[in-house]
């Protein structure tokens, strides 16, 4: 599960109150049912278009923004954002990626599917100087059977403790640390400016 940082997320604008206000403004001016329902129909049409096309387009734009990120940009992401950052990165590698609804549901933050095989990812976005320990590896090992996955992966923007590395090796769990993440971003991202990562984990 990715570490949740306390960070205020911008709230979306609710369409319902806006629609009510518009109706209240139109109603006194309406001279007939026809002149009243035409604006309402237009509002509903645009609302439906937003949910059909607006959200997917917004998701596509956000995915492209993530793919253009540098490793330093990743350091500023919240845990939830880090999970959604990883999804398009792995989709560029041919996977179908899904962020789980729950907070690290059953030990998996992302589910990857490709050619009938399932992989699960535990995402850890930490601050400078903190390393990922054995707990993340244990959670992935426990989640493999739950999702009938053939591969478990722990991805972090930092590094792993020696104990976590030993446990991962014993259980065939793949570890992706800061160096490897930067390489994946360089290889599959949309902004091919190779990031030189400091050897802070050595």
Give the pLDDT confidence of 158-167 residue by residue, as tens digits. Answer: 999 999 999 9
Domain that holds residue 60: 15-66
Phi-psi region at 96: left, alpha or beta (left = phi > 0; alpha = psi -120 to 50): beta
Count of H-run helices and E-run strands, the chain: 8, 7
CA distance 66 to 188: 11
Residue 183 lies in a domain: yes
Residue 105 sits in the same domain as residue 56: no
Q: Is the pLDDT of residue 54 over 60?
A: no
**pLDDT top residue among 41 and 162:** 162
Please identify which residue in the block is written with the tokens 């997320």. Answer: 9
Residue 86 sits in the same domain as residue 167: yes
Residue 163 sits in the same domain as residue 72: yes
Residue 75 sits in the same domain as residue 53: no
> Which of 66, 87, 109 marks a domain boundary?
66
Query: Which of 8-17, 129-138, 151-160, 181-190 comes out lowest in average pLDDT?
Result: 8-17
Residue 47 sits in the same domain as residue 61: yes
| H/E segment holding residue 105 | none
Residue 73 sits in the same domain as residue 60: no
């Amino acid at each position: 599960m990715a570490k949740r940082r306390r960070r205020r997320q911008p709230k979306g604008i609710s369409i319902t109150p806006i629609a009510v206000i518009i109706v209240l403004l139109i109603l006194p001016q309406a001279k007939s049912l026809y002149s009243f329902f035409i604006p309402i129909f237009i509002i509903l049409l645009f609302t439906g278009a937003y949910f059909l096309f607006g959200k997917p387009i917004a998701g596509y734009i956000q995915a492209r923004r993530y793919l253009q990120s540098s490793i330093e940009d990743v350091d500023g992401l919240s845990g939830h954002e880090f999970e959604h950052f990883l999804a398009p990165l792995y989709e560029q590698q041919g996977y179908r990626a899904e962020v789980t609804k729950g907070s690290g549901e059953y030990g998996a933050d992302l589910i990857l599917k490709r050619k009938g095989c399932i992989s699960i990812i535990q995402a850890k976005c930490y601050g400078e100087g903190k390393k990922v320990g054995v707990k993340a590896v244990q959670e992935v090992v426990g989640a493999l059977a739950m999702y009938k996955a053939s591969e478990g992966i722990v991805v972090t923007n930092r590094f792993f403790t020696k104990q976590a590395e030993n446990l991962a090796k014993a259980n065939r769990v793949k570890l992706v640390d800061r160096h490897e993440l930067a390489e994946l971003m360089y290889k599959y991202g949309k902004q091919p400016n190779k990031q030189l990562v400091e050897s802070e984990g050595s």
